[in-house]
Structures are given as C-alpha cells and as structure tokens.
Amino acid sequence: MPEVKLSNSFSPGHGALEHAMDAIAAFFAGTRRVLFIPYAASDPDGYAEATREILGRLGVQVSSAHRAASPLAALDQADAVFVGGGNAFRLLQAVRRNGLLAAIGSRSRTGMPYLGVSAGANLACPTIRTTNDMPIVQPASLSALGVIPFQVNPHYPAAGPLRTARDRRLGEFLEENDVPVLGLCEGSWLHVSAARATAGGTAGGRVLTRGCPPGDVQPGDDLSALLRSRPRYDSPAR
C-alpha cells in the first residue's frame, strides 16, 4: 500500500507540485495510468488539465474521474490514484455519492498507490475532522478512507502565533478524540510503504497526541509508530 500525503500543491517560488516532483516521479515509477480525483476543487476541469500536463512529463497517462462515464470503471482501469486538494467536505461528499470512497479504500488496501494532496491527505485518514476547510457542504458522515490509522492536518504553520492558534484548535480535537494528529508544514509530505512511514520534503511538522507534549518532526524522521495507532473517536478526555 504505497502512499504519499502532501501538505500542499504550491510552495513559494515553485509551480504546482514542483517542490515534490522528484518524490512524485519515484512514487509513480512504473505506473502508466493514474485516475485523478478533482472533486475538492471549484474548477475540476482546469485542475484536471493542469494535472494531466504535469504528470504527462513523467510519462504518466492521467484520466479524471469527473469526466468518466463510470468513475468506478475508470478506477478499475487505473494503476494508481491521485486525490487533489481543495475543500475536504466537498471531496468527501462527492466520493461517497459515486461509490469511489469504498472502492478507493479497497484498492488502496490491496496495494494500489495513493497520492493525496491537502484535502486528498485528509481523505486518507479515518475521518476528515482535522481539515482546515469550511464545511461548505454536509456529507452524510465525516468518516473517510481510513487507509492510515491517524489524522493529518495539512498546511500546518511553521512557527509563531499561527502555530499556537493551530495547536489550540487541534488540542480541542484531542479533548474529544484519542488519536494522533500529524501536522504537515508547507513543503512537507508523508511517505508510507508497508509498515514504514517517513517524513519527507523541505519542511517538517509536528505530532500532537492526547496527554503528551507535541513532538517536532524533521524531514527523514521515521514515523512508523503512527501506523500502530488505535484511534478512538468521540472519546472525551476524563
């Protein structure tokens, strides 16, 4: 089950995904057909076309789920899936309605490579409760793919008052839910392969866990212990 979760598509001074292209090229090595999931975006056509151009430089053929006559059939024909960023609530509602949530989860658990950016990283978690997005739509449930047993918070601030404010918000989440949260700063990502998870990129992040001081994360750190998490939701701290 190879996976990569990126905090962001754009980093200062770089084009879309440019900061992570070496990692993406390695991730998609040997992959011919990728199904792109653009439902989080307000302009899925433009997002899909840009993604097709970027991944095309790697020799990868990209089809977009929103243009497929049958998104489920398109997934069956794909070697890997790329879930793009945008609004996590809109993304979750769409993949629930068209059956892709269960289908992607099933394929990912049996070895299909999964690349998720921002909202796509949120979707890989058991729930999307640690997204930064406004709930512009109301999915039937906040439960997501659960291909990793912990939460991700993309766009995690690098330092200063914004980090303090984010930690406060994530602390409120931990008051009600007993599950680690990995905050990924801009320019960072998480690579998961089998039983190993590694921080990557040019920036780090932080792991927040109920009852423990936050732990800073640096690129290259082994985060495999997070894969052994046993999440408990709606479990208020006593």
- Ordered by where they begin, the domains of the chain are 3-228 (3.40.50.880)
Cα distance between residue 154 and residue 229, in whole Å: 19
Give percent of the chain with pLDDT exceeding 90. 77
Sign of CA dihedral 101, 105, 108, 110: negative
pLDDT of residue 6: 53
Residue 7 has pLDDT above 90, yes or no: no
Catalytic positions are 118, 133, 155
DSSP label at residue 30 = T
pTM: 0.92
For 155, the 3-state DSSP assignment is: strand
The answer to whether residues 52 and 60 touch, using CB atoms and an 8 Å cutoff, is no
Neighbours of 159 (CB within 10 A): 8
Task: Please choose, from the candidates 41, 33, 83, the residue with its C-alpha nearest in 3D space to the C-alpha of residue 58.
Answer: 33
Q: Could you tell me the two tokens for 204?
A: 């780090």
Digit-coded pLDDT (tens) for 142-180:
999 999 999 999 999 999 999 999 999 999 999 999 999
Cα distance between residue 6 and residue 8, in whole Å: 6
pLDDT of residue 10: 47
Cα distance between residue 164 and residue 190, in whole Å: 22
Digit-coded pLDDT (tens) for 69-99:
999 999 999 999 999 999 999 999 999 999 9
Digit-coded pLDDT (tens) for 224-238:
999 999 999 999 997
What rounded mean pLDDT belongs to the chain?
Answer: 91
